[in-house]
C-alpha cells in the first residue's frame, strides 16, 4: 500500500494534526512513459508552509485533499520510461507519499557513490541551487565583501555561507544556539551571532565592524529590519525567505528601516529558484565539484518514520534542525 | 544686509518657528576666485527635513547655527571668478540666505531665455535630475510598461511621470485632491488616483488592472505597502523619498508586503541624485530639449517673502504645493 499525507484544511498559524489526512491507497502501476519511485527521503522545507495557503504566489497552492507537495528522493521500482531503470536513485517533486508515479519531467538521476541520497535533497539539490542563485545572481558578491546570512545553520543558509566563503568573502552567520554557531565556525564562517543568547545589535557591533555588503535573508522580521541598519553603500539584500512570519496569524511588520536602501543606494531583491532552471545542470556540477573537493560540507537532521510528518515539519519553525531537515520514510 | 535662516534646534516632528533663527549680517565680499550671488528663488524640498536631523545619511546634517542648506537661484552681483560675470543667472546649493559666496564649484550658469529662473530649481534642475536618474537608472522602464508614481503632482513625481510617458509607458499618478489629479491628466498621465477621495485599493483596481512594472515612490508608508501588492513579475520599486514619514516622531511602519518582492522576483532600490554627477550635463540637455519641445511641462508653487521660509517649508508636508515649491526672496 501507498501511504500519503494529504492537505485536509488550510492551517491558521502553525499547522495542526487536523490540517492533515493520512490516507492509504494501492501502489500505482506506471503507464507507458512513466516510472514508479519508492520514496526513501522526503524534504521538509519552510516554503511548504506557503504552499498550504490559498493565496496567489509563485506556484499554485496545494489543493485541499491533494497529496502534499514536497521534494523527495528514492529508488525506481518499476519503469516504462526509457530514461530510467529499476534501481536508479532519483530525486524530484514526488510529494509526501511512499510511492510516486513520474513521467520523468523534473526527475533527476543522482549518483549515490558521490554522496548519500539525502544530500541530493539538500546542498546538492534544491537547497544548494537556492543558495547559489540567490547569492550569485541576486547578491553578486565580490571577493572581500562582507556577507551576512540569517538562518545560517539551515539548509540554504549553511550552503550560501560556504559558497560565499569559497568566493573569497568574509562571512557572518546568524543562528539560534551555541551548537549551531559552533557548527558554522567548523564550516569556515568568520563570525557568528547567536540570536538566542545575545542582542542582534551587540552581535552586529562585534561581527560587522565595517557593515555588510550582501545580506542573504532567510528569516525576515526583526532580523531583516536590524540588518538594514548595517548595510554599506550599494549593498544587496537577497530575499530568499522569511521563516519568522510564515505562521503569523497577524500581518507581519515590515522592515521599518527600509529607507536605509535610499541612504545607501542599496537594493532588496527577491528570487525564486525555479527562474534559473536553465542553469540547474551546470550549477549541480559546480555544487558536486565543491562537495567532492571538501569545500561544501553538508549536514542533515533526519527524522525517521513517515507517520511523523505533521510533527516533523514543525521542527523547521521551532529551529530544531541543523542543516537540511529530512523525513526518512522507513524507521530503522 | 544679508538675511539668513539658521538651524537653531533639531526639530521633533514638524519644524517649529523656534527651530529657526533669522539672522542678519553684512553682505560679504568675494575673494579671488569667488563670486557673490544675490538669491532670487530658494528651492524648498522634502529632503531638507532629513538634513535637519542629527543622523548618518547621504550628506552630513546641517550643523546647529549654520545657514540652512538649500538649492537657490539668482544673479551674480560681484565676481572675482573667471567663469562668472556680473548679471549671470546661476543656480547652486547656496543656502537659505539672500546673498551667498561661491567658489564656482557646483554653480551652474542657466539660460533664462530658454526658461524662467525657477525652472532651473525644478524640472530643469535637481528635481528633473532626480526624476530622470531614478526612473531610468533604477527603474529601467521599457516602452509599454505600466509606471505608477506617488507624490505625482510634486516636483519630482510630475517630471518622472512625464518622462515615463515620453518613453512610451502607461503612467498612473497618485496625488491628493481633484485639482492635482486634473493637472496630471493635462500632463498626459493615463490614470490618476486621488488618495484624498478614494481608497488606494479602489484606485489601483481601476487604474492598474494589469498591475505595475515600475513604481516611483516619493511617499513611503501605507502607499508603498499598498503598491507592493500590485507589482508584476520582475517589477522595480524606486525609492526616491518617503515624505509621509519625514516628520514622524515614532518609528514608521515598514512595508509589510515586502515579500511580494520574493513572490514576484522584484527589486526595491534606493538612489541619490548625487551619484550620477558625471551624467548631469548630458541629462540637463535631455531635460532642456524635452522642455523646448513641449514634452515636459513645468509648474511651480511660488511663495513670496524670505521671512516666510519657516511656514513656507511646511507646505510640502501639508501637500499645499502643486509642482515645485519655491520661495521667492522679494515680495512683489
When pLDDT is averaged across residues B314-319 and rounded to a whole number, the result is 97
Work out the number of other CB atoms within 10 angstroms of the CB of residue A325.
24
> In chain A, what residues touch B218 (CB-CB under 8 Å)?
none
Q: What values do phi and psi take at B314, rounded to 5?
A: -70, -20
Identify the pLDDT of residue B252.
Answer: 84
Nearest CA in chain A to B255: A254
- Considering only CA atoms, which of A247, A273, A255, A62 is closest in space to residue A155? A273
**CA–CA gap between residue A43 and residue A329 (Å, rounded):** 11
- Which A residues, 155 through 214, put their C-beta within 8 Å of a C-beta on chain B? none
Cell of B113: 531665455
> In chain B, what residues touch A251 (CB-CB under 8 Å)?
256
Q: Which position has the grid cell 519503469?
A: A79
B271 touches chain A (CB under 8 A): yes
Cell of A116: 548519500
Instruction: Write the residue in A241, A256, A272 that is nearest to B251 by C-beta.
Output: A256
**Span B209-227, pLDDT tens digits:** 999 999 999 999 999 999 9
Work out the number of other CB atoms within 10 angstroms of the CB of residue A53.
14
Nearest CA in chain B to A50: B263
**Span B151-173, pLDDT tens digits:** 999 999 999 999 999 999 999 99
Angle at A282 between CA A280 and CA A286, to 5 degrees: 110
Instruction: Write the residue in B56, B258, B263 that is nearest to A58 by C-beta.
Output: B263
**CA–CA gap between residue B196 and residue B176 (Å, rounded):** 5
Identify the pLDDT of residue B332.
Answer: 77
Question: Residues in chain A with pLDDT < 50?
Answer: none
pLDDT band at B253 (very low <50, low <70, confident <90, very high): confident
Q: What is the pTM of this model?
A: 0.96
Nearest C-alpha of chain B: how many angstroms from A33? 33
Whether B283 shows a pLDDT value over 80: the answer reads yes
Flag if B263 and A57 touch (Cβ within 8 Å).
Answer: yes
**Span A103-158, pLDDT tens digits:** 999 999 999 999 999 999 999 999 999 999 999 999 999 999 999 999 999 999 99
B274 touches chain A (CB under 8 A): no
Flag if B262 and A242 touch (Cβ within 8 Å).
Answer: yes
Query: What SS3 string covers A300-312?
Result: EEEEECHHHHHHH
**Span B9-58, pLDDT tens digits:** 999 999 999 999 999 999 999 999 999 999 999 999 999 999 999 998 99
**CA–CA gap between residue A267 and residue B138 (Å, rounded):** 10
**CA–CA gap between residue B16 and residue B311 (Å, rounded):** 8
Flag if A269 and B272 touch (Cβ within 8 Å).
Answer: no
**CA–CA gap between residue B191 and residue B172 (Å, rounded):** 5
Nearest CA in chain B to A275: B265
CB contact at 8 A, B267 and B298:
no
Identify the pLDDT of residue A77.
Answer: 98
Identify the pLDDT of residue A253.
Answer: 86
CB contact at 8 A, A45 and A155:
yes
Q: How many CB pairs under 8 A join A and B?
A: 104
Above pLDDT 90, what percent of chain B? 98
Question: What are the C-alpha distances in Å from B90 to residues A73, A253, B84, B304?
Answer: 71, 46, 9, 20
A261 touches chain B (CB under 8 A): yes
Identify the pLDDT of residue B251.
Answer: 86
Flag if B261 and A252 touch (Cβ within 8 Å).
Answer: no
Flag if B270 and A261 touch (Cβ within 8 Å).
Answer: yes
CB contact at 8 A, A330 and A304:
yes
**Span B44-94, pLDDT tens digits:** 999 999 999 999 899 999 999 999 999 999 999 999 999 999 999 999 999
Q: Are strands A300-304 and A324-328 parallel, antiparallel or unpaired?
A: parallel
**CA–CA gap between residue A303 and residue A46 (Å, rounded):** 16
Flag if A239 and B256 touch (Cβ within 8 Å).
Answer: no
Question: What are the C-alpha distances in Å from A241 to residues A46, A236, A238, B269?
Answer: 8, 15, 9, 18
Cell of B328: 521667492
Instruction: Write the residue in B252, B267, B275 that is nearest to A268 by C-beta.
Output: B267
B318 touches chain A (CB under 8 A): no
Instruction: Write the residue in A242, A265, A270 that is nearest to B275 by C-beta.
Output: A265
Half-sphere exposure of B193 (CA within 13 A, CB side): 23
CB contact at 8 A, B284 and B292:
no
Q: Tell me whether residue A286 is exposed, middle or buried, using C-beta atoms within 10 angstroms of its C-beta: 0 to 12, 13 to 18, 19 or more.
A: middle
Amino acid at each position: 500500500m501507498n501511504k500519503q499525507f494529504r492537505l485536509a484544511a488550510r492551517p491558521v498559524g502553525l499547522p495542526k494534526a487536523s490540517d492533515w489526512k493520512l490516507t492509504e491507497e494501492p501502489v500505482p502501476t506506471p503507464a507507458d512513459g512513466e516510472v514508479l519511485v519508492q520514496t526513501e527521503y522526503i524534504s521538509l522545507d519552510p516554503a511548504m508552509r506557503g504552499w498550504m495557503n490559498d493565496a496567489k504566489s509563485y506556484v499554485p497552492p496545494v489543493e485541499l485533499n491533494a497529496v502534499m507537495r514536497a521534494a523527495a528522493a528514492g529508488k525506481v521500482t518499476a519503469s516504462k520510461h526509457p530514461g530510467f531503470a529499476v534501481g536508479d536513485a532519483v530525486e524530484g517533486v514526488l510529494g509526501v507519499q511512499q510511492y510516486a508515479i513520474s513521467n520523468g519531467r523534473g526527475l533527476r538521476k543522482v549518483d549515490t557513490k558521490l554522496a548519500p541520497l539525502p544530500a541530493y535533497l539538500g546542498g546538492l539539490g534544491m537547497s544548494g541551487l537556492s543558495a547559489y542563485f540567490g547569492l550569485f545572481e541576486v547578491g553578486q558578491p565580490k571577493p572581500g565583501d562582507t556577507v551576512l546570512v540569517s538562518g545560517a545553520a539551515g539548509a540554504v543558509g549553511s550552503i550560501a555561507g560556504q559558497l560565499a566563503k569559497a568566493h573569497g568573502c568574509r562571512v557572518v552567520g546568524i543562528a539560534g544556539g551555541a551548537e549551531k554557531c559552533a557548527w558554522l565556525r567548523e564550516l569556515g564562517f568568520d563570525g557568528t551571532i547567536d540570536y538566542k543568547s545575545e542582542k542582534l545589535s551587540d552581535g552586529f557591533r562585534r561581527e560587522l565592524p565595517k557593515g555588510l555588503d550582501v545580506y542573504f535573508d532567510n528569516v525576515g522580521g526583526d532580523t531583516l529590519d536590524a540588518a538594514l541598519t548595517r548595510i554599506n553603500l550599494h549593498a544587496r539584500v537577497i530575499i530568499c525567505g522569511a521563516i519568522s512570519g510564515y505562521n503569523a496569524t497577524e500581518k507581519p511588520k515590515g522592515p521599518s528601516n527600509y529607507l536605509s536602501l535610499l541612504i545607501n543606494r542599496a537594493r532588496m531583491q527577491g528570487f525564486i529558484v525555479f527562474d534559473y532552471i536553465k542553469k540547474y545542470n551546470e550549477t549541480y556540477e559546480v555544487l558536486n565539484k565543491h562537495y567532492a573537493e571538501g569545500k561544501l560540507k553538508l549536514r542533515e537532521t533526519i527524522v525517521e518514520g513517515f507517520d511523523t510528518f505533521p510533527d516533523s515539519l514543525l521542527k523547521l519553525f521551532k529551529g530544531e534542525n541543523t542543516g537540511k531537515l529530512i523525513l526518512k520514510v522507513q524507521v530503522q
